[in-house]
């Protein structure tokens, strides 16, 4: 078992209302000469996204000039490292720990690439030890934050005296595909935002692993056969082009309950026993699918919908922002919680938590 010590979300300083973003990027995606119906569709998708505002890596007026994969990826490395450093230092400060105390670092992203990866760039920048163990991850997509919690917990089970740091950076706006009026591109251009998050976790033998820390009890991963064309990237000359199927919510609604139930069964728990649902803010239809599959009351998804409205879908960082907000709300002592996120595969990552204290 391991413990969550601190969660720190981070967002770029450039924040805009959804309507302003639509006004600026609309002509980039649907250029003059394109069928007028495509612009009507873009406006409709953006308005129905559940997003009220988003933070962007670059000032909005710079996006018309972002026309090459190289330029976008250069921004990712520079700005992503800055945002990751900010999140990591905030999380460590909240945990009362110093960077040199970190033994294990897991980095996840799906919106940019670099070698050395951003986790390596963080070592000197924030004062991490050069002998810490690093594990960069690419390809888990929106599931990366939940998978990161699970894999860090796995590491700490075998290294119970260690401190681990999970960091997610997603600069989704840098993947904007100009001149592509496809439905997937129009939908994603209104849904995804930019952000990062860092989580400090410790093993049970570490002095910071007190009973006042949220415990990570278990995790489960599942890939759904025949769904590899539902979600992901089509990588081409212009960079990352979104693959986003309208059938994704149906995949979730059909399969999720069985997998969540299987994880809960190992701990003699039922869906009704779970007092906190930390669900990746993937979009209105994704949240609806989770609610309907598990027969949840709409109120339990309030935090996820609030995060979606405030910052959009932050890919792997999204569920960590929801986790940070949930921790601030302080669920009742002893409450079981479930973290859920979905990514390419299609895959679902689930993590079982227990809030500190004894249930009344």
How far is Cα 43 from Cα 186, in angstroms, rounded to an integer?
A: 9
Peptide bond into 288 cis (omega under 30): no
Sign (positive/negative) of CA torsion 80, 86, 89, 90?
negative
- Distance of alpha carbon 300 from its chain centroid, rounded? 19
DSSP E strands, 204-316: 214-223, 231-236, 239-244, 276-279
Does the annotation count 142 as an active-site position?
yes
Active-site residue, from 142, 147, 174, 311: 142
Contact status, residue 346 vs residue 224, Cβ threshold 8 Å: yes
Whether the Cβ atoms of residue 12 and residue 194 lie closer than 8 Å to each other = yes
Tokens standing for residue 291: 């609610």
Instruction: Name residue, tokens 């609610």.
Output: 291
Cα 202–chain centre separation: 21
By C-alpha distance, which of 262, 204, 223 is closest to 342? 223
CB atoms within 10 A of CB 333: 13
Query: Dihedrals φ, ψ of 129, to 5°?
Result: -70, 140
Residues acting as catalytic residues: 142
């Amino acid at each position: 078992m391991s413990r969550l010590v601190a969660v720190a979300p981070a967002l770029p300083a450039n924040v805009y209302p959804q309507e302003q973003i639509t006004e600026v990027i609309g002509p980039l995606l649907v250029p003059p000469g394109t069928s007028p119906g495509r612009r009507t569709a873009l406006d409709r998708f953006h308005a129905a996204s559940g997003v009220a505002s988003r933070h962007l890596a670059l000032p909005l007026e710079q996006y018309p000039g972002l026309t090459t994969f190289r330029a976008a990826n250069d921004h990712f490395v520079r700005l992503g490292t800055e945002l990751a450093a900010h999140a990591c230092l905030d999380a460590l400060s909240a945990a009362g720990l110093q960077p040199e105390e970190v033994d294990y670092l897991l980095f996840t992203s799906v919106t940019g690439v670099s070698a050395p990866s951003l986790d390596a760039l963080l070592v000197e920048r924030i004062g991490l030890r050069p002998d810490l163990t690093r594990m960069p991850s690419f390809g888990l997509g929106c599931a990366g934050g939940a998978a990161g919690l699970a894999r860090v917990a796995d590491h700490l089970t075998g290294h119970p005296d260690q401190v681990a740091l999970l960091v997610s950076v997603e600069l989704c706006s840098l993947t904007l595909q100009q001149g592509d009026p496809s439905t997937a591109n129009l939908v994603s251009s209104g849904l995804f935002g930019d952000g990062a998050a860092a989580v400090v976790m410790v093993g049970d033998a570490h002095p910071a692993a007190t009973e006042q820390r949220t415990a990570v009890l278990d995790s489960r991963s599942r890939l759904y056969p025949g769904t590899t064309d539902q979600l992901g990237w089509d990588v081409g000359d212009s960079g990352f082009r979104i693959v986003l199927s309208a059938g994704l919510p149906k995949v979730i609604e059909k399969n999720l309950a069985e997998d969540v139930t299987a994880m809960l069964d190992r701990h003699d728990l039922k869906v009704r026993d779970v007092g906190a649902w930390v669900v990746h803010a993937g979009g209105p239809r994704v949240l609806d699918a989770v609610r309907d599959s598990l027969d949840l009351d709409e109120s339990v998804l309030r935090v996820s919908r609030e995060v979606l409205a405030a910052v959009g879908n932050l890919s792997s960082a999204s569920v960590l922002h929801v986790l940070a907000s949930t921790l601030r709300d302080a669920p009742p002592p002893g409450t079981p919680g479930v973290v859920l996120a979905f990514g390419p595969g299609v895959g679902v990552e689930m993590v079982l938590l227990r809030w500190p204290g004894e249930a009344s």
